Amino acid sequence: MDPLLLFCSIAGGLCLAGIAYCGGGAYNDFTDFVHRDLDDRLRSLRAQTPKLRRWIHTWLALVAAVFVSLSFVMDGVVLALVVCMLLSAGPWYVVRRISEGRRQKIEDQLADAMVMFSSAVRAGLSLPQCLEMLAMECPKPIKQEFGQIIGEYKLGKPLERTLTEAKDRLRSENFVLFAAALLASRESGGRLNETVERISKSVMEVQRLERKVVSETAQARKSALYMAMAPPFILVAYYFMDPQATQLLFIKFAGQIILSISLILNVVAYFWAVRILNPDI
């Protein structure tokens, strides 16, 4: 092993040992933050999380094992740090994307649910009966949310409280407007069906604009994905063309620096492009 790589490996191992021995408080704060965030995301997906903290510790132990194997066995200290950073954020990113996808699906289904709700109000149904109808007729996942609202109401919880908790749980701007209309109607009366119809029309218009943006930027988003996937394929192609020169990127310290910077810039560029191509309307 190269002396510089050996020194970096030993230093990295000593840093990990120092964190484990002296930085227990910082480690606990970090795992607490990760636990709170993942627990909130998983609860929004209606997943049970009794052993979440144990899974977090197990995953971090696996990441540490990957770091040790890459740094000592493959002589890749710098590359090991970058790979471990990506591995550490991987599960959180996947859960976040799934949670965001479910929230977006609820946003898309809410406009149709409000139209159905206003029709039920016009037919003379009470507010709890309208919500129960939505819990029965709407598709998933919004069906589950209305089912929880009406289920908690039937168990004795005030409807105002169930709606407030639903607003905090869903974190949807459209649902906030919908719940505000319901709460205002219960307090001061008024034509609830007309209010909900106006909100649903506004939501549908926003969704129309969002779909237009998505359709207009579909090709650009595909191009961003292809550009992010291109460097690994180019690296594999260069390996078959010149294996010795390609191996230097993984063996030599300077090559690891170049490879790590390229990997970080590639990931940052992809997420930057996604951020630009998904404006918040």
Give the pLDDT of residue 6.
Answer: 39
User: Can you read off the two tokens belonging to residue 191?
Assistant: 């034509």
89-118 b/e with 16+ CB inside 10 Å = b? eeeeeebeeebeebbeebbebbbbbbbbbb
The backbone region for 242, taken as left when phi is positive above 0, alpha when psi lies in -120 to 50, beta otherwise, is beta
Q: What burial letters (b/e) apply to 54-80, b meaning 16+ CB within 10 Å?
A: eebeebbeebeeebbebbbeebbbbbb
One-letter amino acid at 45 equals: L
3-state secondary structure at position 17: helix
For residue range 66-89, what is the model confidence (pLDDT) as tens digits?
888 877 766 667 777 888 888 888
**Is residue 56 within 8 Å of 34, Cβ to Cβ?**
yes
Instruction: Output the six-digit token pair for 268.
Output: 């940052």
Tell me if the bond preceding 141 is cis, omega within 30° of 0. Answer: yes
| CATH numbers and ranges of domains, the chain | 103-201 (1.20.81), 217-281 (no CATH)
pLDDT at residue 244 tops 60: yes
Note the pLDDT tens digit of each residue in 153-190: 889 888 889 988 888 888 888 888 888 888 887 777 66
Give the separation between CA 217 and CA 215, rounded to whole angstroms. Answer: 6
Q: Is the pLDDT of residue 193 over 80?
A: no
pLDDT band at 46 (very low <50, low <70, confident <90, very high): confident
DSSP state string for 147-168: HHHHHHHHTT--HHHHHHHHHH
